[in-house]
Amino acid sequence: MNEALAALHAVQELDTALLRVARKLRSLDPGTALAQAAEEAARTHAEAAAALHSAEADLRDSELELKSVEAKRKDHSDRLYSGKVTNPKELDGMQHEIEALGRRRGALDEHLLELMETVENLSSREAELRRAADAAREAYEAKAAVTQREEKTLRAEAVRLKTLRTERAALVPSALLKRYDAVRTGKDGVGLACIEDGRCGACRTVLPRNTVLTVRDSVAIVTCEACGRLLCMRQPEP
């Protein structure tokens, strides 16, 4: 292989490596599905927490009302049996009020039992959903951290390869490099193909024997008639 093509081959290898890095960067999973799962888990937990807060507020309100009812009932009972009230009509009214407060107290006792059971159930569910939300968030954060590290490594590798590519490209005649860049732009980033077993290493077309011999024995720049890529002989492994 002539020196110009040898230098260009080194550039092509770097371009191929850069393409691999670019594909890996594009294929990185930022954890989108895990992020969505974490958001859904957080939303579900927030709804459960709100329901628990509402039930706890109802429980506190009912407890306060029960205390108020008990206080009023005791006050009426004390007045009823104190002997200070003698008016029959007033006494009868107080008796009816005490009975009504007693019925209200019974209803509140039953309601409080239901609310306490509801709060207990909601508290268990809230705790379960909180753990699930925490786990979902941690899973997403762990995935995001791994992706960030991978991205950082790949971008650093891309910078290294681009620097090396600039150095190698400086060794290629400018006209040849320009022609190579023009070809690879429309050929999936591959502008130079090595001949492998008499075939173009890119499109796998069988090449005429004269073409192979010309590439092997001369300094002429030859292209594949099928795909238009520049051709070179594969360099022996060091």
Position 1 scores a pLDDT of 60
CA atoms within a 13 Å half-sphere pointing along the CA-CB vector of 94: 20
Residue 105's contacts (CB-CB under 8 Å, 6 or more residues apart) are 66, 69, 70, 73
pLDDT band at 46 (very low <50, low <70, confident <90, very high): very high
Residue type, position 225, single letter: E
Q: Is 193:200 a contact under the CB 8 Å cutoff?
A: yes
Which one has a higher pLDDT value, 9 or 76?
A: 9
pLDDT band at 236 (very low <50, low <70, confident <90, very high): low
By three-state DSSP, how is residue 109 classified? Answer: helix
Determine which of 26-40, 64-78, 82-96, 175-189 has the lowest per-residue pLDDT on average. 82-96
pLDDT band at 2 (very low <50, low <70, confident <90, very high): confident
pLDDT digits (tens, 9 = 90+) for 50-104: 999 999 999 999 999 999 999 998 888 877 777 776 778 887 787 888 889 889 9
Q: Is 126 exposed, middle or buried (0-12, 13-18, 19+ CB in 10 A)?
A: buried
**What is the CATH code of the structural domain delimited by 31-169?**
1.10.287.1700
DSSP 112-154: HHHHHHHHHHHHHHHHHHHHHHHHHHHHHHHHHHHHHHHHHHH
- The domain locations on the chain are 3-15+173-233, 31-169
The closest of 29, 3, 26, 38 to 137, measured between CA atoms, is 38
